[in-house]
């Protein structure tokens, strides 16, 4: 969904990373210019793709420690890291305050929900058909199959958006 939104709102180079090939293929379909397997040296590969420059914005959507570490290495001076996924509560990740904040002036922020203005913008993009969210729905279930829906989401192997329709 993030690639789709970035493309619809005029982002420059969009590069997605994931450990799952299905999701990497989906990222290409929904706006990513390039994809990288998360097990690779993503910061180095990103710089090669981006003419030697680091990323202006890195959005971390995975709870894996390596995703946070890659984000800190991939972000450019003056860039932003948006943390969209938390780690497990017992996890700590070392951060070089001097390098990340003083030397490179990186902004690190979190989000998990949109403001009313963000929601209004999203609804307008959907209404104007700038975001085709229907294509992202890979599975739909009635309440009697809710367990199967949750299983697909937990495995996330070949699903993107799983919808539960109580009325079915």
| Of 168 and 106, the one with more pLDDT | 106
Q: By C-alpha distance, which of 21, 100, 95 is closest to 54?
A: 100
Query: What per-residue confidence (pLDDT) applies to 133?
Result: 81
Q: What pLDDT band is residue 77 in, cutting at 50, 70 and 90?
A: very high
Residue 50: CB atoms within 10 Å: 18
> Residue 80: which residues within 8 A CB-CB, separation 6 or more?
56, 57, 58, 106, 107, 108, 109
Written as six digits, the tokens of 59 are: 């959005």
Computed over every residue of the chain, the mean pLDDT equals 90
**What distance in Å separates the CA atoms of residue 19 and residue 66, rounded to the nearest whole number?**
11
Give mean pLDDT, residues 65-90. Answer: 94
- 101-141 pLDDT, tens per residue? 999 999 999 987 778 888 898 888 888 887 778 888 888 99
Residue 168 has pLDDT above 70, yes or no: no
* CB distance 53 to 47 below 8 Å: yes
Sign of CA dihedral 134, 137, 141, 147: negative
> Residue 90: which residues within 8 A CB-CB, separation 6 or more?
none
- 1-24 pLDDT, tens per residue? 788 888 888 889 999 999 989 999
**What distance in Å separates the CA atoms of residue 119 and residue 54, rounded to the nearest whole number?**
30
Residue 34 has pLDDT above 70, yes or no: yes
pTM of the predicted model, to two decimals?
0.82
Query: What per-residue confidence (pLDDT) applies to 72?
Result: 96
């Amino acid at each position: 969904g993030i690639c789709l939104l970035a493309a619809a709102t005029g982002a420059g180079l969009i590069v997605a990373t994931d450990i799952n090939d299905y999701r990497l293929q989906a990222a290409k379909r929904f706006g990513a210019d390039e994809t990288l397997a998360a097990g690779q040296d993503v910061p180095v590969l990103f710089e090669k793709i981006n003419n030697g420059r680091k990323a202006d914005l890195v959005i971390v959507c995975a709870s894996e420690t390596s995703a946070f570490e890659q984000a800190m290495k991939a972000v450019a001076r003056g860039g932003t890291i948006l943390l969209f996924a938390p780690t497990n509560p017992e996890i700590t990740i070392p951060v070089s305050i001097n390098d990340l904040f003083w030397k490179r002036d990186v902004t690190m922020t979190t989000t998990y929900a949109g403001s009313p203005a963000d929601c209004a913008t999203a609804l307008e993009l959907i209404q104007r058909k700038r975001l085709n969210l229907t294509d992202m729905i890979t599975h739909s279930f009635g309440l009697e199959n809710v367990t199967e829906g949750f299983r697909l989401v937990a495995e996330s192997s070949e699903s993107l958006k799983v919808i539960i329709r109580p009325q079915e």
